[in-house]
Structures are given as structure tokens and as C-alpha cells.
């Protein structure tokens, strides 16, 4: 059974090395690349230590005359047991510490505020960098969106992290290391993407039932496209006066959700002003299609256990379709 288990274990060990959109080995950010470099140094450093220790063990266990032992044994303890590990570990420690200062360095441009909330991510663009106060998990100001963060390529963008409920952890493995989002304070992380594309982010701190379904997307675009994207996010809803909007408001959705440019001004749940342009719904777990929106609204807790949004089984298919079509059209 053990022999059959080896390939499975090997597969699991290397499955994390695939350079997908959620891999530290994707090389899509300055910090992630440093972490990857450090990982390989630590790995080969560890292999070197393992080989030396094993070699010493084999050498020490061979049959030999007792007189020889005393002198060689003392040298072994000095060089193999004290000098070698001290020097090797000091070099690895120094290398690790030398990588750290750039992560705390200054950011460029406007900051983006991100609030981890059970079980989704509130996002606000165009926030003053270096903010420390928080309201509802976010520093004041900014243009709200949710579960998708657009970043400019090659720019050191400050992410200000907060939370209104419990501790979450913000992690985009392909771009940078992880930092906790803690209620009542603002933590910061600087992201510097080095590749355009769509990358996966996750919550990396257990926060409740739907912790594993608290994901998001990071979309890296050129600085010009980023400016256009922020301007688009700032604009009000593109489509109003439809039956879908009427049903949305009549069913009280506006008490929790904002759709800027309409009567919906709620602040509890995700801002839906441009929800149709996002790649996913329900915090990165479903593709953004009208069918999935309808399915989610009909049975929220079935799709995502522990979600705060109530289900709307009383809406018929026709009504759900009208609402989903309207939300999908909010590009
Ligand atoms: Cu939020 Cu785990």
C-alpha cells in the first residue's frame, strides 16, 4: 500500500508547483518572485544539509578502531555540528532578511482599499494612500466595487486592508505574500504586478462556513487601461428603467446593495453598479452568467453555506430572469 501511495504523495507535493493563476510560481509579481527565489534557496540549502548530515551518519556508523574515534569525533562535533549549521543557517537567514525591505517600501499612485467581510471582498479604488481610520472595514472615500481588483502593471500599488467582522487574510499567491485583514485596524501590502492577466486571490484565514468560498480575481492591465477602468467604476449605472430594476427595488434588494444612479443605496452587501462587468459572482465561486445570478438569488445558502444574503425562492423564474438580465447588463 505504501509503494502505491508514493506516486500519489509525489503528485500532491508537485501539484502546487503548476504555474496556474493561483500559483506562487507564476512569477507575476515582484514579491511573489522573491518568495519563489527564497523557496528554491531554502530547498537546495535544506538538501545540502540533509546530504551532509546523512554522510556524517554513514561515516560515523562504519566499523573502525576505537583509538581513531576520539580525535575524529571531536572534529566532527566542531565542524559538522557547530560550524557548518551555524554558517549555513546564518547565510539563509541573511538572504531571507535581505529580501524583505522592498516589500515595505513606498507605493506609487492612489491606494486601493480592500475589506474582508464574511464571505466576500469589498473593494474601493482611488483611496488616499497611508490611511489609518476605518469605517465598515474600509478607510473613508473611494469608488466601491467587489470581489475583483484591477491593478496597473509595473506600478507599486498600496492595498489598505480592513475588516468589519472577523480576521480574514488577503492572498494573491501569483503576485505577493499574504497579509491579514483585522477588524479595527488598517494593514497594508504593496502589490507590484509584473505580468498582465487574470489571477486568483483567496481568503487565507479561516473565517467561518464559507471561508473556502471567499475568493476574488485580480486583473492586471496597463496603467492607461487602469485609469480608464477607475473612471468607468466611478460612473453611475449604465442601464436604468427596466423591469429588472423595478423588481430589484420592489423586493428590497436596495436595502443591502448599491447600484449608483438608482434608488438602491444599501451598504451591507457588495456594490452592484457595474456587477455585469465582473468575471465572477458570489466572491469568485461562480462564472458571471444570468443563469448563475438567478440560481444564486433563488437559493443563496445552497450555493454558499453561511452567506448573509437571504434566498428568494418566492420569485418565479420570469422575475429572477428579469433581475439577472438587468444585473448582467450593468457593465
Ligand atoms: Cu475570510 Cu476566510
CATH number at residue 126: 2.60.40.420
Q: Is residue 3 part of a domain?
A: no
Rounded CA gap, 239 and 11, in Å? Answer: 49
Q: Is residue 236 part of a domain?
A: no
Cβ–Cβ under 8 Å, residues 276 and 288 = yes
Atom 1, ligand 1: residue with shortest CA distance: 168
Q: Is residue 122 part of a domain?
A: yes
Residues 200, 270 within the same domain: no
Interface confidence (ipTM) of the complex:
0.98
- Final residue in a domain of this structure, among 219, 252, 286: 219
Rounded CA gap, 322 and 331, in Å? Answer: 16
Query: Which domain range does residue 90 map to?
Result: 31-103
Q: Is residue 229 part of a domain?
A: no
**pTM for the full model?**
0.84
Q: Cα of 53 to ligand 1 centre, how many Å? A: 41
Q: Phi, psi at residue 147, to the nearest 5°?
A: 60, 10
Q: Phi, psi at residue 200, to the nearest 5°?
A: -95, 140
Residue that wins the pLDDT comparison between 4 and 259: 259
Exposure string over 285-313, b if 16+ CB within 10 A, otherwise e: bbebebebbbbbbbebeebbeebbbeebe
Which atom of ligand 1 is the closest one to the Cα of 116? 1
| 281-309: pLDDT as tens digits | 988 888 999 899 999 999 898 888 889 99
100-118: average pLDDT: 83
Q: Cα of 122 to ligand 1 centre, how many Å? A: 13
Q: Is residue 8 part of a domain?
A: no
Residues 211, 128 within the same domain: yes
Q: Find the residues whose C-beta lies inside 6 A of ligand 1.
A: 116, 168, 203, 205-207, 211, 214
Number of domains in the chain: 3
Residues 94, 129 within the same domain: no
| 220-254: pLDDT as tens digits | 999 999 999 999 999 988 888 899 999 999 999 99
Q: Is residue 11 part of a domain?
A: no
Q: Is residue 94 part of a domain?
A: yes
Q: Which range is least confidently modeled, 22-26, 63-67, 74-78? A: 63-67
Amino acid at each position: 500500500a505504501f509503494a502505491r501511495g508514493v506516486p500519489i504523495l509525489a503528485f500532491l507535493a508537485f501539484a502546487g508547483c503548476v504555474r496556474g493563476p493561483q500559483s506562487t510560481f507564476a512569477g507575476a509579481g515582484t514579491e511573489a518572485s522573491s518568495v519563489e527565489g527564497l523557496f528554491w534557496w531554502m530547498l537546495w540549502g535544506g538538501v545540502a544539509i540533509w546530504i551532509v548530515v546523512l554522510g556524517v551518519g554513514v561515516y560515523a556508523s562504519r566499523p573502525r578502531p576505537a583509538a581513531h574515534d576520539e580525535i575524529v569525533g571531536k572534529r566532527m562535533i566542531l565542524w559538522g555540528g557547530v560550524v557548518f549549521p551555524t554558517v549555513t543557517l546564518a547565510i539563509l537567514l541573511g538572504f531571507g532578511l535581505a529580501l524583505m525591505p522592498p516589500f515595505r517600501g513606498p507605493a506609487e499612485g492612489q491606494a486601493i482599499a480592500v475589506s474582508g467581510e464574511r464571505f466576500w471582498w469589498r473593494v474601493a479604488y482611488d483611496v488616499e494612500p497611508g490611511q489609518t481610520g476605518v469605517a465598515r472595514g474600509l478607510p473613508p472615500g473611494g469608488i466601491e466595487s467587489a470581489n475583483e481588483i484591477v491593478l496597473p502593471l509595473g506600478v507599486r500599488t498600496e492595498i489598505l486592508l480592513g475588516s468589519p467582522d472577523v480576521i480574514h487574510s488577503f492572498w494573491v499567491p501569483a503576485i505577493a505574500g499574504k497579509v491579514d485583514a483585522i477588524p479595527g485596524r488598517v494593514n497594508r501590502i504593496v502589490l507590484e504586478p509584473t505580468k498582465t492577466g487574470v489571477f486568483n486571490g483567496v481568503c487565507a484565514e479561516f473565517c467561518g462556513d464559507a471561508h473556502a468560498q471567499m475568493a476574488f480575481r485580480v486583473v492586471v492591465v496597463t496603467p492607461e487601461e487602469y485609469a480608464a477602468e477607475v473612471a468607468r467604476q466611478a460612473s453611475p449605472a449604465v442601464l436604468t428603467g427596466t423591469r429588472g430594476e423595478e423588481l430589484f427595488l420592489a423586493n428590497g434588494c436596495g436595502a443591502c446593495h448599491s447600484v449608483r444612479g438608482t434608488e438602491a443605496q444599501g451598504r451591507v452587501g457588495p456594490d452592484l453598479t457595474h456587477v455585469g462587468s465582473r468575471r465572477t459572482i458570489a466572491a469568485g465561486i461562480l462564472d458571471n452568467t444570468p443563469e448563475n445570478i438567478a440560481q444564486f438569488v433563488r437559493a443563496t445558502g445552497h450555493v454558499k453555506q453561511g452567506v448573509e444574503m437571504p434566498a428568494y425562492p418566492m420569485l418565479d423564474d420570469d422575475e429572477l430572469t428579469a433581475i439577472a438580465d438587468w444585473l448582467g447588463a450593468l457593465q
